[in-house]
Amino acid sequence: MTVGIVGASGFTGAELLRLLVGHPNLDLCVATGDSMAGTRIADLYPSLALAYGERTFDRYDADALDGLDVVFCGLPHGVSMDVVPDLIGTVGRIVDLGSDFRLTDPALYPRWYGTAHSHPELLASAVYGLPELFRDEIAAARLIAATGCNAATATLTLAPLLAAELIEPGGIVVNLITGVSGAGRPPKPHTTFCTVDENITAYGLLTHRHTPEIEQALTVATGQPVSILFTPHLVPANRGILATCYGRPAGDASTDDVLGAMADYYRGEPFVVVDERSPETKSVAGSNAVHLTARVDERTGLVFGIGVLDNLMKGASGMAVQCANIATGLPEATGLTTVGVYP
């Protein structure tokens, strides 16, 4: 099948370029990157030199994508909403890695993203791209809004606890640690080496845009009105997310009960590991796997779950390829690995 990447010069685009090299069914035809148009892919990402040789980033042209089977959009927030309308009906399927089509209520965009959605009529046709929760919807979708990296980690950790009614749906606390690549390739004052090195900082206090995304996904998946307090923390690491999610118990439960509920919920899932071990970001680096655990603290009465994933893989580009595989009828794990890079 023929594939295009719009926004291939960013970190998620580069990860897609890497994944497509090893994908037996997806053939890259177009790779745009307007800020780097005419630049050799190998000059920006030497790790891709043997795969792409003299190939350069293209300038975006909707006509060049016409007729492709799958188009991935790895664009900054607020850009995809004006690109996707040009592609609908001209390409087979669109997988948007940005946030522009994740929320179903257009009124949430001004509040959480600071601007109104330019094409709110398309939100109802977009399917939220989290395969473990919405696989059937993805299979029939033409426009897939791939899950955000923070949202994927928190949602996958909390969904089984809520579905089994082991925790209350209100007042959930999510403390999350993330690596710097989640902020994208362009330099920003808070992601320079001197700012990040030897530093840990909480950000997006009470305002992080993944908050309504997590609430929406969990509410739809479990049928309960979920509310969370979400606080991410930036650490000096390239990749990886670890989310610790705390909830009030909805009844009597033990650690064995919560671990069993997680294992049952994800039984047969190709990319999910549920284990008693405390998960580590190093274990999932470079893979499409997510590792989970859970505990009941009898002393405080609280229930908590921990989840880890690679923010550029299961949190972005790996998730996008997984969604594309499902939507095009390919085996879900095609071109993806469950094995992390270690050390």
Per-residue model confidence as pLDDT tens digits over 140-176: 999 999 999 999 999 999 999 999 999 999 999 999 9
Domain range for 141: 2-146+314-327
pLDDT one-digit tens code per residue, 87-126: 999 999 999 999 999 999 999 999 999 999 999 999 999 9
pLDDT one-digit tens code per residue, 220-278: 999 999 999 999 999 999 999 999 999 999 999 999 999 999 999 999 999 999 999 99
Does one domain contain both 138 and 180?
Answer: no
Distance CA(75)–CA(98), nearest Å, equals 6
Q: Is residue 335 part of a domain?
A: no
Q: Is residue 91 part of a domain?
A: yes
Q: Is residue 202 part of a domain?
A: yes
Burial label, 187 (beta-carbon count in 10 A; 0-12, 13-18, 19+): exposed
For residue 149, indicate whether it is catalytic.
yes
For the full predicted model, state whether its pTM sits above 0.95: yes
Q: Does residue 187 have a pLDDT over 80?
A: no
Does one domain contain both 140 and 159?
Answer: no
Among 32, 27, 28, CA closest to 7: 32
Q: Which of 73, 149, 245, 323 is catalytic?
A: 149
Total domain count for the chain?
A: 2
Q: Is residue 232 part of a domain?
A: yes
Tell me the CATH number at 236.
3.30.360.10
The answer to whether the beta carbons of residues 309 and 293 sit under 8 Å apart is no
Does one domain contain both 265 and 155?
Answer: yes
Does one domain contain both 173 and 274?
Answer: yes
Q: Pinpoint the alpha helices (H) of the chain.
A: 11-21, 41-44, 49-52, 80-87, 108-113, 131-139, 149-163, 193-196, 210-222, 255-265, 318-327
Q: Is residue 336 part of a domain?
A: no
Q: What is the pLDDT of residue 184?
A: 85
Share of the chain above pLDDT 70, in %: 100
Q: What is the mean pLDDT of residues 33-60?
A: 97
Does one domain contain both 135 and 42?
Answer: yes
Q: pLDDT band for 323, please (50, 70, 90 cuts).
A: very high
Q: Given CA atoms 280, 150, 36, 321 in this order, what sign does their dihedral have?
A: positive
Does one domain contain both 282 and 176?
Answer: yes
Does one domain contain both 120 and 186?
Answer: no
Among 138, 139, 142, CA closest to 93: 142
Q: What is the pLDDT of residue 212?
A: 98
Among 162, 160, 127, CA closest to 141: 127
Does one domain contain both 302 and 174?
Answer: yes
Q: Is residue 223 part of a domain?
A: yes
Which run of H or of E encompasses 290?
strand 290-296
Tell me the CATH number at 63.
3.40.50.720
Does one domain contain both 84 and 203?
Answer: no
Does one domain contain both 45 and 131?
Answer: yes
Q: Is residue 340 part of a domain?
A: no
Does one domain contain both 156 and 28?
Answer: no
Q: Given CA atoms 243, 244, 248, 251 in this order, what sign does their dihedral have?
A: positive
Share of the chain above pLDDT 90, in %: 96
